Chains A and B, each alone.
Chain A
Amino acid sequence: MEKKWIYALEELGKEHLDLVGRKCANLGEMTKLGMRVPPGFAISVDGFEEYMRATGLGARIASYFDSKGQDLRKSVRSQMDASRAAKEMMAETHLPDEMADAIVRNYEALCSRFCTKDMPVAVRSSGAVSMPGQMETYLYVRGASEVLSRVREVWESTFNTRAIAFRLEKRMPVDKAPIGVAVIRMVNARSAGVILTVLPTTGDTDHAVIEGNWGLGESVVSGDITPDNFIVNKSSLAIEPHVSTKTRWVVSTERGTTKADVPQHLRNAPCLEDREILELVRISVNVEKHFGVPQDMEWVIDRDLPFPENVIWVQARAAKYTPPRKEADNDYILDQMTRLFRQ
């Protein structure tokens, strides 16, 4: 294959959305902004398409979908059947050696950068268009063969029933999906969580809010526990801490992650030091300035690295929030002023 289809994150930026998908483009952009992100590489949309083409899998799936014709459009059952059939065809179809070698070479290069063998990585889907059911994330993937099968599983997720239904509904080709894959070093997470540079319920942009827990970030995002909450004034940097009792966390295992009880001595202790909080605020405010809109960012504190190298970012996107009351009020006034002239 002539065309390049694997990229280091440092090569990427937000302009590469269509090439490598949103997740990878985003990580690349964050790298450009000088943020510490876990090192890794991206498999572009072309990689998926080459796999489908070189193995003949694409043609087989397309003809299968064609044979179903209008049934596929009408019945959920036949969409479920199609999903199962496509995934079975994929499971039987190995990567061409040349492609498998390329992925393994890149993984091993990443391992050797950290002088470890079988270094744990996260394998994440990176869609160029956001599509339901297509958000596969595999944590603590260890070893080359495991990486290869997880990459293929990410690709398989484009044939989830919901993803198929979505493409049918949007009148997109059913047998194709623009999907990239991110393979990044797993951070040995001491704590993790999110920071928003706006208070989402009030639209207050003078403050940032951090939520975090011990262990991996999944426990915070899933909403299973009440995380620690820190509200920070973005100009005075005054911290208002709300430390909660954290009973459960997500930790790594030999083959992935699991939920577990938080050790007693950590339950009521804040999961972040003040200097870490301030570092999170400092960087997120810079990112907010760069993009011009409030940010919603995911962070991890690495257990093995010293401060401030231990502050690592895995996600940055525009925050969703209720516009400030004042803005909503002004909009209401503008609407009413306009209506005045209709009397």
Chain B
Amino acid sequence: MKTLAELAAIRERMQNNVIVREGTASTRVVVGMATCGIAAGARPVLSAFVEGVEKAGLLDKVTVTQTGCIGICQYEPVVEVYEEGKEKVTYVKVDAAKAAEIVEKHLKGGSVVTEYTIGAIK
């Protein structure tokens, strides 16, 4: 059974890491979570990024955040990737499986998954 004591243990374990981690993330993954995004399936996409980034050991490098409607509702779920010194990449019609692939190939491997980007669709 999960207890608050267990949470305290996680705190002890994390305290050092968090201090090191602060301000080091250079990549930001932004998932559109307005009505349009949620209706199109953004919730499992967000969960897939959060879990994928942790599993891939990228917590120091990547933060996953949420935003409102980006204005291209017909392409939701939309995910934007901002990397320091690079042009923004916009992925469209993302699902959990594509999210896992983006974590692996783009965030970890460094190469954009072009077939899922907005440029490939338009």
A and B: bona fide binding partners: no
Residues of A within 8 A of B (CB): none
